[in-house]
Chains A and B, each alone.
Chain A
Amino acid sequence: MSDNETLAEFDFHGKALDTIFDDYAQMHESKPVGRSSKYGGFWYICKSEDIFDAEQDPQTWSVGPSMLLPSFGTEMPLIPIDIDPPTHAGFRKLLLPMFTPMAINKLEPGMHSTAIELSDQVKSAFEDSDVVDVSALFARPYPTIIFSRLAGYPEQDWPLFDQWIDDIIYERTKSPEKAKAAGDDLIAYVQRLIDDGRAGKALEGITGELLNATIDGRPLTDDELVSYGYLLFLAGLDTTAWAIRSSLWYLARNKEAQALLRREPERIVDAAEEFLRTLSPVQAMARTAKQDTTVRGQEIKAGERVVLVFGAGNRDPEIYDNPNDIDITRENNRHLAFGGGIHRCLGSNLGRKELVISLEHFLATIPEFELAEEEPWHGVGSLRLRLTGGE
Chain B
Amino acid sequence: MTKIWVDPARCQGHARCFMIAPETFYIDDEGYGHVVEGREGAYEEENTRKAIRNCPERAIKLVETEDA
The interface of chain A, by Cβ under 8 A from chain B, is 52, 93, 96-97, 99-102, 269, 273, 331-336, 338, 340-342, 344, 346, 348-349, 352
Kindly list chain A residues whose C-beta atoms are within 8 Å of the C-beta of B57: 340-341, 344
Known: A100-B27, A273-B54, A340-B12. 19 other contacts (CB 8 A): A52-B58, A93-B30, A96-B31, A101-B18, A101-B19, A101-B27, A101-B31, A269-B19, A331-B53, A332-B53, A334-B53, A334-B56, A334-B58, A335-B56, A336-B56, A338-B56, A344-B13, A344-B56, A349-B31
Q: A96 to B55: give the CA distance in the assembly, Å.
A: 18
- The answer on a CB contact under 8 Å between B27 and A102 is yes
For the complex, give the distance between the alpha carbons of A269 and B15 in Å.
14
In contact, B13 and A100 (Cβ under 8 angstroms): yes
Q: Which of B15, B18, B53, B56 has the most CB of A within 10 A?
A: B56
CB pair A100–B56 under 8 Å, yes or no, is: no
CA–CA, A269 and B19, complex, Å: 10
Which residues 38-68 of B have a CB within 8 angstroms of A?
Answer: 50, 53-58
Residues of B within 8 A of A (CB): 12-15, 18-19, 27, 29-31, 50, 53-58
B-side contacts of A334, CB under 8 Å: 53-56, 58
Q: Would A331 and B56 count as touching, CB distance under 8 A?
A: no
Query: A80 to chain B: closest CB distance in Å?
Result: 13
Residues of B within 8 A of A348 (CB): 14-15
Q: Is the CB–CB distance between A333 and B54 below 8 Å?
A: yes
Write out the residue numbers on chain B whose beta carbons fall within 8 Å of the beta carbon of A336: 56
A97/B12 in contact, CB under 8 A: no
**Total residue contacts A-B, CB cutoff 8 A:** 55
CB <8 Å contact, B29 and A331: no
Do B18 and A341 have beta carbons less than 8 Å apart?
no
Q: Which residues of B contact A269 (CB under 8 A)?
A: 19
Contact A97 B30 (CB under 8 A): yes
Give the CA-CA distance A52 to B56 in the complex, in Å: 9
> Is B54 a contact of A96 with CB atoms below 8 Å?
no
A357 to chain B, nearest CB (A): 13
Q: Which of A97, A273, A352 contacts B29 (CB 8 A)?
A: A97
Contacts of B31 in A (CB 8 A): 96-97, 99-101, 349
How distant is the Cα of A94 from the Cα of B12 in the complex, in angstroms? Answer: 14
Contact A96 B56 (CB under 8 A): no
B36 CB → nearest A CB, Å: 14
Q: Complex: how many Å from CA A52 to CA B30?
A: 23
Residues of B near A335 (CB, < 8 A) are 56
Q: How far is the CA of A96 from the CA of B30 in the complex (A)?
A: 5
- Measured between beta carbons, the chain A residues less than 8 angstroms from B18 are 101
The 3 A-B pairs with the shortest beta carbon distances in the complex, nearest first, are: A100-B31, A96-B30, A344-B12
Which single member of B15, B54, B58 contacts A100 (CB below 8 Å)?
B15
Judging by beta carbons under 8 Å apart, are B15 and A101 in contact? yes
Chain A residue with the shortest CB-CB distance to B57 = A340
Can you list 20 contacts pairing A with B, beta carbon distance less than 8 Å? A96-B31, A99-B13, A100-B15, A100-B27, A100-B31, A101-B18, A101-B19, A273-B54, A331-B53, A332-B53, A333-B54, A334-B56, A340-B56, A340-B57, A342-B12, A344-B12, A344-B13, A348-B14, A349-B15, A352-B19
Q: How far is the CA of A121 from the CA of B18 in the complex (A)?
A: 34
How far in angstroms is the closest Cβ of chain A from B68?
Answer: 33
**For B30, what are the chain A residues with a Cβ–Cβ distance below 8 Å?**
93, 96-97, 100
Residue of A nearest to B52 (CB): A334
A83 to chain B, nearest CB (A): 16
Residue among B12, B18, B57, B58 having the largest count of chain A Cβ atoms under 10 Å:
B12
Would A332 and B54 count as touching, CB distance under 8 A? yes
For A341, the chain B residues whose CB sits under 8 A away are: 12, 57
The answer for the CA separation of A344 and B57 in the assembled complex, in Å, is 10
Q: How far is the CB of B45 from chain A (nearest CB, A)?
A: 14
Q: Are B50 and A100 in contact (CB under 8 A)?
A: no
Give B54's nearest chain A residue, CB to CB: A334
Contact of A331 among B14, B27, B50, B55 (CB under 8 A): B50
Q: For A346, what are the chain B residues with a Cβ–Cβ distance below 8 Å?
A: 13
Tell me which residues across on chain A come within 8 A of B54, comparing CB atoms: 273, 332-334
In the complex, how many angstroms separate the beta carbon of B39 from the nearest chain A beta carbon? Answer: 18
Q: What separation, in Å, do the CA atoms of A19 and B36 have in the docked complex?
A: 45
